[in-house]
Amino acid sequence: MIELVKVIKRYGRSYALDSVSLKVSPGEAFALLGPNGAGKTSIIRILLGFTKADAGVAKVNSISVKSKHSRVGVGYLPEVVRFPGHLDAPAFLRRTAALKCKGTDINAQIMPLLEKTGLGGKEKQKIGSYSKGMMQRLGLASALLCGTRLLILDEPTAGLDPIRTRELRLILQELKDRGITILVNSHMLSEVERLCDSAAILNRGKVLAAGRLTEIIGKDESLEDAFIKYVNSDRSRGEGS
């Protein structure tokens, strides 16, 4: 579903990504983990075609990300979502579908998507009155329009309280159970440990560890323990070089 082979991204003399290789299989929930500036967002931006790699190969659905066809069936939920406050959810989704799903009648999708994302019964409410959690759920509904097979999420639980965070995780778990591939960038390690099958831990643009969580997490460790171990070890090497 997703493949990166020795991907390099530079900004001036600094490496955002330094020969990064990753593979995400269809139907997998995969997490990008790392401190701020580790390169996680650069990976997402390359996969979505927002920016270009300087070297290496990046593919989605076995198609190079240089082609717009690689993004067919891909949904994206950014960290910050902003929608026109004067619209209700169905009107917003119809507008989004007109851009994203040309030639597709999505009216039959709207209410099931709103129900699935916990916005059922709120279809007449203006978006301007939505809470942070409701905005996030509407963003998820938008990302799922038109038969999404790969869902990319950038800090999806940012600003959500524990109840809304749990609700979102349960929605994502249901999507995963239906075979949708999920790529998530998150600092919420406990949520990642509950949802994801695999992960990559990055720092300074390099992959420190990647694979199944059972391979990354040592005996008697949590994901948080493993994350801190890998990142601190890399920082120590950096300070010694």
Tell me which of 105 and 181 has the higher pLDDT.
181
In a domain, 117, yes or no: yes
In a domain, 14, yes or no: yes
In a domain, 47, yes or no: yes
Alpha-helical (H) ranges within 54-195 are 89-100, 107-116, 132-143, 162-177, 189-195
Residue 50 belongs to a domain with what CATH number?
3.40.50.300
Question: 16 and 39 in contact (C-beta within 8 Å)?
Answer: yes
Token pair 């967002």: residue: 41
For residue 201, what pLDDT is reported?
Answer: 97
Alpha-helical (H) ranges within the chain are 40-47, 89-100, 107-116, 132-143, 162-177, 189-195, 213-216, 223-240
109 pLDDT tier (thresholds 50, 70, 90):
confident
Say if residue 241's pLDDT is above 90. no
The mean per-residue pLDDT over the stretch 33-52 comes to 95
Show the domain range for 11: 1-73+152-163+186-241
pTM of the model: 0.91
Check whether residue 2 and residue 65 sit in a common domain.
Answer: yes
pLDDT tens-digit readout, 122-153? 888 999 999 888 888 899 999 998 888 999 99
Helix (H, G, I), strand (E, B) or coil at 186: coil
**Structural domain count, the chain:** 2
Check whether residue 67 and residue 93 sit in a common domain.
Answer: no
Q: How open is the CA angle 75-77-80, to the nearest 5 degrees? A: 155
**Tokens describing residue 26:** 């269809």
Query: What residues does 3 pair with on adjacent strands?
Result: 23, 59
